[in-house]
Amino acid sequence: MNTKTILLIEDNPSDVDLTKRAFDKGCIVNQLVVASDGQEALDYLFGTGAYAGRDSSDFPTLTLLDLKLPKVSGLEVLRRIRSESSTRRMPVVILTSSREDQDMAAGYDLGVNSYIRKPVDFEHFVQSVAQLGLYWLVLNEEPPRVK
Give the 3-state secondary structure of residue 5: coil
Share of the chain above pLDDT 70, in %: 98
- pTM comes to 0.92
Query: Please, what are the domains in the chain?
Result: 6-136 (3.40.50.2300)
- CA Rg, the chain, in Å? 14
d(CA 71, CA 40): 9
pLDDT (tens digit, 9 = 90+) per residue, 106-120? 999 999 999 999 877
Query: Could you report how far apart the first and last alpha carbons of the chain are, in Å?
Result: 15
pLDDT (tens digit, 9 = 90+) per residue, 27-62? 888 899 999 999 999 999 999 999 998 988 889 999
Ramachandran category for residue 111: left, alpha or beta (phi over 0 → left; psi -120 to 50 → alpha): left
Report yes or no: 61 and 137 within 8 Å, Cβ to Cβ: yes
Q: In the prediction, which pLDDT does 64 show?
A: 96
> Which residue type sits at 22?
A
> Which residue type sits at 135?
Y
What mean pLDDT value characterizes the chain? Answer: 90
Report yes or no: 60 and 93 within 8 Å, Cβ to Cβ: no
- DSSP lists the bridge partners of residue 35 as 9
d(CA 147, CA 144): 9
Q: In the prediction, which pLDDT does 34 show?
A: 97
For residue 1, pLDDT beyond 70: no
Which of 15-29, 51-65, 67-81, 82-96 has the weakest average pLDDT?
15-29
d(CA 114, CA 39): 22
Compute φ and ψ for 33, nearest 5 degrees: -105, 130
